[in-house]
């Protein structure tokens, strides 16, 4: 068993508060925090991604499409598809991002 907490998880090298809480040959799991007004600009990923909102509200931006995610919503996004997240709310938002490698 390997226990990882946010206090000892390595930071992800992005402008947002993010921590890699699991990494293996088949899966990376990232805990991502967005403060009100913060966003992750749209970008493609070379892996399929599943994101689950665990706190607050987030808007998923994919091209011109905007989808509001509510608490505990999850979304699967195929690799090479531009997507980003934005917190337009007034409270902190947290996501679990799972990259299927």
pLDDT in tens, the chain (101 residues): 989 999 999 999 999 999 999 999 999 999 999 999 999 999 999 999 999 999 999 999 999 999 999 999 999 999 999 999 999 999 999 999 999 99
- Residues 44 and 30: their CA atoms lie apart, in Å, by 16
Residue 72 lies in a domain: yes
Task: Indicate the pTM of the whole model.
Answer: 0.93
Give the three-class secondary structure for 26: coil
In this prediction, residue 65 carries a pLDDT of 96
Distance of alpha carbon 24 from alpha carbon 27, whole angstroms: 5
**Domain assignment of residue 66, yes or no:** yes
- Confidence (pLDDT) at 24: 96
- 31 domain residue, yes or no: yes
How does DSSP classify residue 9? S
The answer to whether 59 touches 69, Cβ cutoff 8 Å, is yes
Torsion angles phi and psi, residue 45, rounded to 5: -130, 145
Contacts of 64 (CB under 8 A, 6+ apart): none
Per-residue pLDDT at 49: 97
Domain count, the chain: 1
pLDDT score for 42: 97
Report the pLDDT value the prediction gives residue 3, as an integer from 0 to 100. Answer: 92
In a domain, 2, yes or no: no
């Amino acid at each position: 068993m390997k226990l990882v907490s946010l206090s000892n998880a390595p930071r992800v090298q992005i402008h947002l508060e993010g921590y890699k809480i699991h990494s293996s040959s088949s899966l990376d799991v990232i805990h991502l925090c967005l403060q009100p007004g913060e966003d992750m600009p749209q970008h493609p990923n070379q892996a399929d991604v599943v994101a689950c909102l665990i706190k607050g509200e987030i808007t998923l931006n994919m091209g011109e499409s905007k989808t509001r995610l509510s608490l505990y919503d999850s979304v699967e996004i195929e690799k090479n598809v531009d997507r980003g997240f934005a917190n337009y709310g007034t409270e902190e938002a947290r996501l679990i991002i799972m990259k299927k490698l």
